[in-house]
Amino acid sequence: MDYHYETQPIPNPISYYLHQNLASFHKFEVLVNHFIELIVPFFCFGPWRIARHIAGTLQVFFQILLIISGNLSVLNWITIGPALWCFDDSYPLYKYLFKREIFMNINFNGIRQRIKYLRSIIKLIIFSLIIYLSIDPVLNLFSRYQRMNSSFDRLNLVNTYGAFGSVGKIRDEVIISGCNRSSIEQCNHDNAWLEYEFSCKPGKIDRAPCFSAPYHRRLTWQLWFAAMQNLQYNPWLVHLMTHLLASDQYSPVNVVLSVGGNPFPDGPPRFIKADLYRYKFTSLNSGDKNWWVRSNPQPYSPIFTLGSPQLKSIFRQMEWKMPKVPMRS
């Protein structure tokens, strides 16, 4: 938790302030996290109503805290769904959560008892099936090399799920920039590289993080993943950069950019490149009014032009179609 708020895919403004807390507070967060994720779920299946009510309330409250602390897409929102099964008509907030009761009262002699018996058999069969299909996923949890987001049966009934395998301690960002000078040497000499700004992605250090959940900004997530790998593992990034080389203010690629995020609205740039920067939150006590501080710039990609042989070779290899200039939908 010393790093999570800073290194998660898309922080929001609250993430910045939560990151500023003392190490003792972050240790407390870890204890709460382990308690709610490892112990509380067992009480969701407890025989006592009050235990199920408390467990469900803790689960919902925990997911709300996660929603507040970062932009984790719909993950936390849909996790609230199963927790609602812990509540019945004796729950204090039942009438506010469920507007009407949906049930059938069967009064025919003997039918209710038969249905109850049949339902118990079906539950036992499903429970046994889930136990059997869970053997490999559980063994995977204890494996030294865990497989995340994988299926272990042909029908994908029981799988392993997880947003992250671990919490990273550093945050690197892929920054794409273009230049309209006549040569690369002139671009470097005049420091004429202008950066593209993507929606909700850390870029300019004075731009505040955004709120976007439950909307999922997939490209921003993919750029977050790309910063952990080399360009060779993310050829789609070359495709994106090429489309930026062919875009102006009317091109469809602008939908992934923030407002005013295209530094070349009147015509595409001549050159484009991607660099890798190390990003960290600023400290509240430092007096720095920026949200981020960045350092350690390193080349992430070659410098491309639409006519470069290297770019054309990549497009032929991937069987992509070169965009027209300017690109139109």
Length of the chain: 329
Domain count within the chain? 3
Cα separation, 225 vs 203, whole angstroms: 15
Residues 176 and 314 in one domain: yes
Would you write out the chain's pLDDT as a tens digit for each of its 329 residues?
999 999 999 999 999 999 999 999 999 999 999 999 989 998 988 888 999 999 999 999 999 999 999 999 998 999 999 998 888 888 887 766 665 555 555 555 567 777 878 888 998 998 899 899 999 988 988 888 888 778 888 888 888 877 777 789 999 999 999 999 999 999 999 999 999 999 999 999 999 999 999 999 999 999 999 999 999 999 999 999 999 999 888 888 889 999 889 999 888 999 999 999 999 999 998 989 999 999 999 999 999 999 889 999 999 999 999 888 777 65
Is the residue at 324 inside a domain? no
Q: Does a structural domain hold residue 199?
A: yes
Residue numbers of the domain that contains 29: 1-104
How are beta strands 171-179 and 271-281 bridged, if at all?
antiparallel
Do 222 and 185 belong together in one domain? yes
- Here the tokens at position 145 are 């090399």
Do 264 and 222 belong together in one domain?
Answer: yes
Structural domain includes residue 34: yes
Residue that the structure tokens 């993943």 belong to: 225
Tell me the whole-structure pTM to 2 decimals. Answer: 0.82
C-alpha to C-alpha distance for 91 and 54, rounded to whole angstroms: 10
Number of neighbours of residue 60 by Cβ within 10 angstroms: 19
With beta carbons less than 8 A apart as the criterion, state whether 263 and 234 touch: no
Q: Are residues 100 and 120 in the same domain?
A: no
196 touches 263 (CB < 8 A): yes
Which residue in this structure is represented by tokens 């709300």? 64
Q: How far apart are CA 249 and CA 247, in angstroms?
A: 7
Q: Do 72 and 17 fall into the same domain?
A: yes
Based on the fold, state whether residues 184 and 278 are members of the same structural domain: yes
Q: Using CA atoms, how far apart are residues 134 and 79, in angstroms rounded to an integer? A: 20
The reply to whether 36 and 80 lie within a common domain is yes
In a domain, 86, yes or no: yes
Query: Mind giving me the DSSP string for 213-252?
Result: TTS--HHHHHHHHHTTS-GGG-THHHHHHHHHTT--TTSG
Same domain, 65 and 196: no
Are 282 and 290 a contacting pair, CB within 8 Å?
A: yes
Q: Which residues contact 272 (CB under 8 A, 6 or more apart)?
A: 176, 177, 178, 179, 241, 244, 245, 303, 304, 305
Cα–Cα distance for residue pair 249/267, rounded to 1 Å: 8
Let me know whether 138 and 153 are in one domain: yes
Task: Count other Cβ atoms within 10 Å, centred on residue 81.
Answer: 10
Specify if 323 maps to a domain: no
Q: Of 139, 168, 197, at which residue does a domain stop?
A: 168
Instruction: Classify residue 329: in a domain, yes or no.
Output: no
In a domain, 327, yes or no: no
- 261 and 299: one domain? yes
- Same domain (yes/no): 163, 175: no
Tokens matching residue 290: 């920026």
Domain boundary among 76, 104, 132: 104
Q: Are residues 89 and 155 in the same domain?
A: no
The answer to whether residue 85 is domain-embedded is yes
